[in-house]
Chain A
Amino acid sequence: MSSHRARFLTIGISAAVLSAMLAACSNNSNSSGGAKSPVVIGASLSLTGQFSADGQAFEKGYKLWATDQNSAGGLMGRKIQLKFLNDNSSPTTAVANYQTLITVDKVNFTIGPFSSLLTGPSASVAHRYGYALVEGAGGAPSVFATKLNNVFDVSLPVAASLLPMINWVASLPASQRPKTAAFPTSNDPFTQPQIQFAQQKLTALGVKSLYYKVFPEEPTQIKGIADQVAAAKAKIVVLGSTAVPTVSGFTQAFIQAHYTPEVFIATAGPDQGAAYLKAVGHYNNDGVMVPNAWYGGSPNPQSKKMVAEYIAQYHGTASQVNADVAEAYSVGQVLTQAVHATHSLSNAKIIAYLHSGATLTSVQGPVKFDAVGENLAATAFVFQWQKNNFVQVLPPGTGSVAAEFPKAPWGK
């Protein structure tokens, strides 16, 4: 009986030792010679719904960055694996998605969704679990108002993005300066602060505000609002839009009403390249402006490389590359530089590093974060469609061509 017990004991100890050795070998192969587990990076993206064009462009930008970075060795010698969950453009779903990515999928990093509307609540979830949220489309003041320490927006803060246009209007000789303006804006945290800022500044310059209304971006309402703007006959229209359908709806209603403002600038939509052209047509884009920090023709060498890769993969021209692609790509670039600088995949170290005041680079230009995660180094530009080309027109000077002013009639 005792010999039996001794034999079982021997077999048991041997099995335990063998298991431990196998486990050790397994761990060892993970950390040195064998295939390393990938670095999983998760994001909630609006692949359907109101922001689907932007969400898909973001997906392309993230994928383009991951492919490039994997070709360069990945992160800390490990391949990057992206995990996207569709939020159908809903902030509630985006919150649930980040919860899933962090607690169920246990991703290493989270990166941002599209739009300030979704970034604000998503950042709170990431913050709760100590994750950094590097993002490219959450530049509204409401995102930074909560003062979360984990949000880092690599793009242009939107509050003052219309400043180049305002300065340009101020620089026009009094005889040429438009005297009236209309300010329709969607009820979105991305658009309202920009439009209110523009209205306040332009009014201070003596431009009379003929129309200011906040509207929901519902298909049934856009024509009615646009007709009111057209009836006001303002010389400048500053439209607070989040996506292409709103801009195309206003454009169509303006054409129907035989109304061409001298300046037509929209906060988003005209920056979406081919998606914008598809919606408004090749004859109805001339002279339309949009503020941003990047365009397909950017002379930035990193941007040129990304644009060439994008065109090789998805075809089209530089003007047709959606600015969202660059915003997403920049997110990846900033995360890469933070990982390399800290030699770590620790979110806490990444957050500390991004708050250190280091200046990073991206396809959109330099990136340097303030205490709440706004990119202090971003420069605001205004771009304009001219003869189906998307060109930088403001601020005047290096890299900018002359703005088309007054805007050419529709259909020309």
Chain B
Amino acid sequence: MAKFLQAVTDGILGGAVYALMAAGLTLIFGVMDIINIAQGVLVVLAAYLSYVLSVHLHIDPLLGLLITVPAMFVLGVAIEWAFMRRLRGRERTAMSLLVSYAVAVIIEGALYQAFGSTPVGYLPRYAVASVHVLGFYLPYIYLIGFGLAAVAMAAIYLMLYRTKFGRSVRATMQDKVAARLIGINVDRVAALTFGIGVAVTAAGGMVFGATNTFNPDSGYDLISRLLSIVILGGLGSIAGALVAALCMVTAEEIVNIWQPTWATAVYYAALVIVLLVRPAGLLGKQEARAQ
């Protein structure tokens, strides 16, 4: 029983970190119909930014979010302006796969140039410290990740449903042409949304870097999982990404108790089964996927 509870605890805390990394991916798809394959490498880029701040400039990575979040926001806006805005027409979503893959390759190449391929990591005090609760050690870094995920998702929710900009975003999500007709600057909404999606990734990258050793191509391991999380949760659904990440990582941790080599297979089998029953994902709407 203790093993089971430990696995559930690890799953919930680890799942929240994955939700944090996947939030930007699902937000960008929901608003822009863009499947951002570069999300994995953007997480790694954010981890490298935190690494530079922590190891070379001796700035705490958590505090460093004050620098990395705006930096990633600017990068996101720049990527949207330089690459994504050019995509038009019915093939836009399919083409976004190729274009964002190109973005991933460019960023990965730059990271190789700057840092080489030797894995690096950073271990601030809270990355190795933990609190003892009911017989379990809960690492602070995962609690921080959980907190950041909750804050980021709440902020995105409030932005979408409680602000004028959010109304513009939702109008754009529903019908771009109609949104243009009522005076919404759709290009501006897209740029800001892409920027916000990438900015959220800064927090996910910071936690990822503090819990894993990484190198420039660590993003490829990540992207398959992040995509499966947003597909399971329902493309475009922020809450769905959270629920899917928690379910998937927890399921994997539980399988780990008996047969770790089967955990990944179970993870993807669960994805297939859920999609057979609910093609739009756990909390997704059919229309969202049909856009």
Identify which of A47, A213, A244, A256 gathers the most chain B CB atoms within 10 Å of its CB. Answer: A256
What residue of chain A has the Cβ atom nearest to residue B132's Cβ? A258
Question: Contacts A228-B257, A256-B128: A279 and B213 contacting too (C-beta < 8 A)?
Answer: yes
- The segment out of A72-80, A128-136, A214-222, A344-352 that lies at the interface is A214-222
B130 x A220 contact (CB < 8 A): no
- Chain B residues whose C-beta falls within 8 Å of the C-beta of A218 in the assembled complex: 221, 263-264
Q: Write out, one digit per residue, whether chain A residues 228-249 have a CB within 8 A of any chain B CB (1) or not (0).
A: 1001000000000001110011
A143 at the interface (CB under 8 A from B): no
Q: Given A52-B118, A258-B130, A215 and B261 touching (CB < 8 A)? A: yes
B88 located at the interface, meaning its Cβ lies under 8 Å from any Cβ of chain A in the complex: no
**Contact A231-B2, Cβ < 8 Å, known A252-B123, A256-B130:** yes
* Distance to closest chain B CB from A150 (angstroms): 30
B7–A278 touching, CB < 8 Å: no
Which residues from chain A contact B119 at a C-beta distance below 8 Å? 52-53, 243-245, 248, 275, 278-279
Main SS of chain A's interface residues?
A: helix
Alpha-carbon distance between A359 and B6 when the two chains are bound, in angstroms = 54
Question: Which of chain A's residues have a CB closer than 8 A to the CB of B212?
Answer: 219, 245, 249
B2, A279: Cβ atoms closer than 8 Å:
no
User: Do the beta carbons of B225 and A256 come within 8 Å of each other?
Assistant: no
Provide the bound-state CA to CA distance between A213 and B118, in Å. Answer: 28
Report the nearest A residue to B265, measured CB to CB. Answer: A216
Q: How large is the interface on B (under 10, 10 to 19, 20 to 34, 35 or more residues)?
A: 35 or more
Identify which of A187, A224, A244, A249 contacts B10 (C-beta below 8 A).
Answer: A224
Q: Encode contact with A along B115-154: 1 for CB under 8 Å, 0 otherwise.
A: 0111111010001111010000101000000000000000
Q: How many A-B residue pairs have CB under 8 A?
A: 115
Q: Are A223 and B14 in contact (CB under 8 A)?
A: yes
Q: Given A47-B117, A56-B117, A279-B121, does the pair A228, B3 have CB atoms closer than 8 Å?
A: yes
Bound Cα distance A56, B213 (Å): 17
A216 touches B137 (CB 8 A): no
Listed residue (B118, B137, B213, B214) with the most chain A CB atoms within 10 angstroms of its CB: B213
Query: In the docked arrangement, what's the CA distance between A186 and B215, Å?
Result: 20
Q: Which B residues lie within 8 Å of A56 (CB)? A: 116-118
- A11 contacts chain B at the CB level, 8 A cutoff: no
**A275-300 with Cβ < 8 A to chain B:** 275, 278-281, 284
B3 touches A244 (CB 8 A): no
The chain B residue sitting closest to A49, CB to CB, is: B217
With an 8 A cutoff between CB atoms, is B249 at the interface? yes
Interfacial chain A residues near B121, Cβ < 8 Å: 248, 278-280
Once the chains bind, are B6 and A227 in contact (CB under 8 Å)? yes
Nearest-CB residue, chain A, relative to B130: A256
State whether A216 touches B261 (Cβ < 8 A): yes
B225 and A231 within 8 A (CB)? no
Inter-chain contacts of A280 with B (CB < 8 A):
121, 123
CB-nearest residue of chain B relative to A322? B118
Given the contacts A248-B213, A257-B130, A221 and B263 also touching, CB distance less than 8 Å: yes
User: Do B261 and A52 have beta carbons less than 8 Å apart?
Assistant: no
Chain A residue with the shortest CB-CB distance to B122: A281
Q: Which residue of A lies closest to B254 (CB)?
A: A224
Is A48 among interface residues, defined by CB-CB distance under 8 A?
yes
**Cα(A284)–Cα(B128), bound, Å:** 10
B137 contacts A256, C-beta separation under 8 Å: yes
Verify A256–B123 contact, CB threshold 8 A. no
Q: Which residues in A have their C-beta under 8 angstroms from that of B7?
A: 224
CA distance A53 to B117 in the complex (A): 6
Chain B positions 96-121 with a Cβ under 8 Å from a chain A Cβ: 112, 116-121
State A47–B217 Cα separation when bound (angstroms).
11
A22–chain B nearest beta-carbon distance, Å: 45
Which residue in chain A gives the minimum CB-CB distance to B267? A220
A298 to B106, CA, bound (A): 42
Please tell me if the beta carbons of B211 and A225 are within 8 angstroms of each other in the complex. Answer: no
Contacts of A13 on B, CB cut-off 8 Å?
A: none
Residues of B within 8 A of A53 (CB): 117-119, 215
Chain A hits for B130, CB < 8 A: 256-258
A255 at the interface (CB under 8 A from B): yes
- Residue among A221, A231, A243, A249 with most chain B CB within 10 A: A221
Nearest-neighbor residue (CB-CB) of A232 within chain B: B3
Write out the residue numbers on chain A whose beta carbons fall within 8 Å of the beta carbon of B11.
224
B: residues with CB less than 8 A from A are 2-3, 6-7, 10-11, 14, 18, 112, 116-121, 123, 127-130, 132, 137, 139, 211-218, 221, 225, 249, 252-253, 256-257, 260-261, 263-264
Chain A residues in contact with chain B, CB under 8 A? Answer: 47-49, 52-53, 55-56, 88, 187, 213-216, 218-221, 223-225, 227-228, 231, 243-245, 248-249, 252, 255-258, 274-275, 278-281, 284, 410-411
